[in-house]
Amino acid sequence: MIVLHPSIIITMDKDRRILDNYYLGIDGDKIVYIGKEKPGEYEELIELPGRMIIPGLIDSHTHVAMTLLRGLKDDADLMEWLQKYILPMEMRLKPEDVYYGALYGIAEMLRSGITTFLDMYYHEIEIAKAVEKAGVRAVLSYGSADVFFNRSPEEEFKIAENFRANLEKLAKEKGAEDRLFFAYGPHSPYGCTKELLEIFRDESRRRNIRIHIHLAETQGEFDDIKKKTGYTPITYLNEIGLLSDRVMAAHVVWVAENEFAILREKGVNVLHNPISNLKLASGVCPVPRMLKEGINVALATDGPASNNRLDMFREMHVAAIIHKGVTRDPKTVPAKTVVEMATINAARALGLEHLVGSIEIGKKADLVVINLKHGPHGTPVHDPYSMIVYALDQSYVESVMVNGRWLYYNREYSTIRFDELRETIQEIRDRLMQEAGIS
Amino acid sequence: MIVLHPSIIITMDKDRRILDNYYLGIDGDKIVYIGKEKPGEYEELIELPGRMIIPGLIDSHTHVAMTLLRGLKDDADLMEWLQKYILPMEMRLKPEDVYYGALYGIAEMLRSGITTFLDMYYHEIEIAKAVEKAGVRAVLSYGSADVFFNRSPEEEFKIAENFRANLEKLAKEKGAEDRLFFAYGPHSPYGCTKELLEIFRDESRRRNIRIHIHLAETQGEFDDIKKKTGYTPITYLNEIGLLSDRVMAAHVVWVAENEFAILREKGVNVLHNPISNLKLASGVCPVPRMLKEGINVALATDGPASNNRLDMFREMHVAAIIHKGVTRDPKTVPAKTVVEMATINAARALGLEHLVGSIEIGKKADLVVINLKHGPHGTPVHDPYSMIVYALDQSYVESVMVNGRWLYYNREYSTIRFDELRETIQEIRDRLMQEAGIS
């Protein structure tokens, strides 16, 4: 057992206990001790004065390999951005590009305390390899979109199933079955035919597999789906019978009045991406209303091309302020709720609440050590939730443990050669720009 | 002359030139050379590969000493927050508390590249002392509010004049006349009587002194001023004759349709505080419309009790995304415009455009060195404005020069003993909490 002794532990357990000056014992990959007394026996004791330990943060919706496309024509019209810049680059991505892009994104995530994420992309097995290599935890989905790729629903589903088989094989080979998880990834109501959505509906039920989908992100989608199907997006998926508590729906900005009840009754998990929704001018997700309805809301960064960071501290900050400003209620979405959205709510959304999302005996040791004295923002000391959300930033993250292993310790990576990787990323970007004829 | 040789210089000059691989020469407190060629003679050459130099950032509205009150009851109702928490603490502030609070705030500012700020508070001469000691630049105003303090307009004006005399004396004694500037600080349309506002109007005109005021921050103010005076706040000040291009108006969230023309015609400078306005649920300043009208908009943090940081990187980020989300236009308030708001527009707002706000020969050497390789967010390299606004954060600031002097060099302060100061701040906070009976 190794024992950590920080000044504060934010548990995010059922009682949301905040523990001052407690000892935290880790054996193998698990938390085995939380107590006021120093355990009698241990292998190593790490004194962490002035440090706060929080549960590993969970980024509940991203496209992690898009670090390669960061900053590619910001401040542009969405369709111009997608069609003239993003897609021409993505078409040219080789599998190994995606691997390196993902590994770089994971390095960025670790620095801001993200230990688990939910992803959707192409060449997704490469992202699985990066997750395995780096030592983090992820739920991975291949972005199925028979409409975009002009394939039959059956063909498109086969690709997803093929990824599932490969992922399961990789996880087994590497003994990483507690770090690599699968979800179906029908891209969106507009990226998939009704037939494909129905296949996912049936297979999700039959095999108890989660579904990761973009839903009701823009007004354009809202209007188009209504025109095509007669239903607004959430209602459309509900009519198909796709919605359940296995569904992890990203964005959910455009919600008709009667659709809050659908989300609540079906137990849909909402993945809230405030920075991306603002930057891409999609709008503001009605989070205060969702919370009032008892809908589970988790926080997410979206991909680094539309953010442009994989940083849950920035995301928590924006989530805490945007809804106050828009609803004109300074008490809505308080700091504690925001930390819940980035930890325990996200664990629940991803179906991993039994493993992660809080610091409790028996759960996986996914921990973030924050040095409150790294800079000026941790002083004066006050409410710790408020400090995390409004005052601190990712630079205060000193060490990160996943599955009982230090992946980032005293600001050094243990599984990633960062400087080398950075050069690789720039080289890939330069090559893609040249091939796509973008200057 | 010392010569800096970074990879990129963001000049913010009239042509907004971005210079790759140029040399920047500084003699005394001034920029004396900008060129492709290495100067023939120099005292010191500092090679800065992988670094970007930007003009010192300007925080155009704050209450810097309120670091002492950071995180004091966040997520609360505004009036409860002010009356039960902020005011009981402020009442107990001793002059030296304000000095230390300001010095700490300046330390925080330097770390995020802020070299100049506009302040309003009480015991303002203490803030002047902290500015002088730290070596930064500031425009300082005493917060005049005869309504709040139940004093006569004449008495209240005398306090402001007294501060002016003391500030001028201090500046002269210390040879800091190019770093310490004065402005009148009528608190707000509701904190001042009409008589006091008229005194400031006359004296501002007569002596050519700038006016720093909170204006149209909340809907409550908008409605109250209308009820009391028959005019909405901007129109009310215009009727008094207070508005001119000497006016630096903070917030300006609640603007009636006809008032955009008033702001434009009078040349009023708007100080935009997006984070504070969202966090305190005041609303969203109509910046896209103001920019369209040609109104000068500068960026600001507001005080650290309502932010909770003195960090222009976070402020730039929120300024860039909020207006896109609210207006649903992804092209509005682009990154370059945001950097203008934090540099040259702010210099113009503060009446210091001849000294600071851009990197040009003859201007003061107020510079920020950003290390693009400090972390993952500077790769891949792309549009530098976009990188500053969306991808980087304060932790990328490596060194800061003000008036030709390194105040923060390779992450070490030269004029501030930071660790000692941090302890002092916590002690003052603890004492204030105890005295005010706040737990």
Query: What pLDDT sits at residue A99?
Result: 98
pLDDT tens, residue by residue, B70-87: 999 999 988 889 899 999
At B79 the pLDDT is 84
Q: Answer yes or no: do A149 and A223 share one domain.
A: yes
In a domain, A84, yes or no: yes
From chain B, the residues in CB contact with A325 under 8 A are: 277-279, 281-284, 322
In a domain, B431, yes or no: no
Is B373 a residue whose pLDDT tops 90? yes
For the record, the structure tokens of B368 come out as 């920020």
**Together in a domain, A153 and A24:** no
**Span A2-11, average pLDDT:** 98
Can you tell me the distance from the alpha carbon of A238 to that of A253, in angstroms, rounded to the nearest whole number?
17
Indicate if B72 and B133 belong to the same structural domain: yes
In this predicted structure, what is the pLDDT of residue A304?
A: 95
Q: For residues B161 and B247, state if they share a domain.
A: yes
- Residue B418 covered by a domain: no
Which chain A residues have a beta carbon less than 8 Å from that of B334? Answer: 74-75
pLDDT in tens, A237-250: 999 999 999 999 99
Mean pLDDT of A111-132: 98
> Which residue of A68, A78, A281 is in closest CB contact with B380?
A68
Q: Which of A287, A316, A349 marks a domain boundary?
A: A349
The pLDDT, as a whole number, for residue A390 is 98
pLDDT tens-place string over residues B226-269: 999 999 999 999 999 999 999 999 999 999 999 999 999 999 99
Complex-level ipTM: 0.97
Angle, helices B233-240 vs B194-207, to 10°: value is: 60
Residues A162 and A285 in one domain: yes
Examine the domain organization and report whether A325 and A391 are in the same domain. no
CATH number reported for the structural domain that contains residue A179 in this entry? 3.20.20.140
Does residue B436 lie within any of the structural domains? no
Q: Quick check: B425 contacting A, CB < 8 Å?
A: yes
pLDDT at B368: 99
Count up the domains in chain A and report the number: 2
Question: Residues A375-433: pLDDT tens digits?
Answer: 999 999 889 999 999 999 999 999 999 999 999 999 999 999 999 999 999 999 999 99
Residue B7 DSSP SS3: strand
| Number of C-beta neighbours around residue B417 at 10 A | 11
B432 within domain boundaries? no
Helix (H) or strand (E) holding B420: helix B418-436
Pair (B41, B165) in one structural domain: no
Confidence of residue B111 (pLDDT cuts 50, 70, 90): very high
Query: How far apart are the two ends of chain B, measured CA to CA in Å?
Result: 54
B429 to chain A, any CB pair closer than 8 A? The answer is yes
Q: Which pLDDT value is given to residue B153?
A: 98
Question: Does B230 share its domain with B168?
Answer: yes
- Nearest-CB residue to B77 (from A104, A311, A331): A331
**pLDDT of A284:** 98
One-letter identity of residue A209: I
Res B271 pLDDT > 90: yes
User: Distance from CA of residue B392 to its chain's centroid?
Assistant: 20
Backbone phi and psi for residue B47, each to the nearest 5 degrees, phi listed first: -80, 130
Asked if residue A77 has pLDDT above 90, the reply is: no
In a domain, A378, yes or no: yes
Whether residues B29 and B83 share a domain: the answer is no
CA atoms of B298 and A38, how far apart (whole Å): 54
Average pLDDT along chain B: 97
pLDDT confidence of B39, banded at 50, 70, 90? very high
In a domain, B425, yes or no: no
In this predicted structure, what is the pLDDT of residue A416? Answer: 98
Whether the pLDDT of residue B311 is over 90: the answer is: yes
Domain boundary among B349, B365, B387: B349
Question: Mutate which of B75, B251, B316 to test chain A, going by most A C-beta atoms within 10 A?
Answer: B75
Residues in chain B closer than 8 A to A76 (CB atoms): 330-331
Domain holding A222, by residue range, is 57-349
Does position A79 have pLDDT exceeding 90, yes or no? no
A322 with A302, same domain: the answer is yes
A336 shares its domain with A371? no
Identify whether the C-beta of residue A102 lies closer than 8 Å to the C-beta of residue A65.
yes
Query: How do beta strands B18-20 and B2-10 pair?
Result: antiparallel
Interface contact flag, A390 B107, Cβ < 8 Å: no
Query: Which neighbouring-strand residues pair with B33?
Result: B25
* Same-domain status, A7 and A143: no
How high is the mean pLDDT of chain A? 97
Considering the domain boundaries, does residue A159 fall inside one?
yes
* pLDDT, mean of residues A141-154: 97
Q: What is the pLDDT of residues A254-304, one digit of tens each?
A: 999 999 999 999 999 999 999 999 999 999 999 999 999 999 999 999 999
Beta strand segments in B11-113, E = 18-20, 23-27, 30-35, 44-55, 57-62
The answer to whether residue A78 scores a pLDDT higher than 90 is no
What CATH number should be reported for the domain holding residue A32? 2.30.40.10
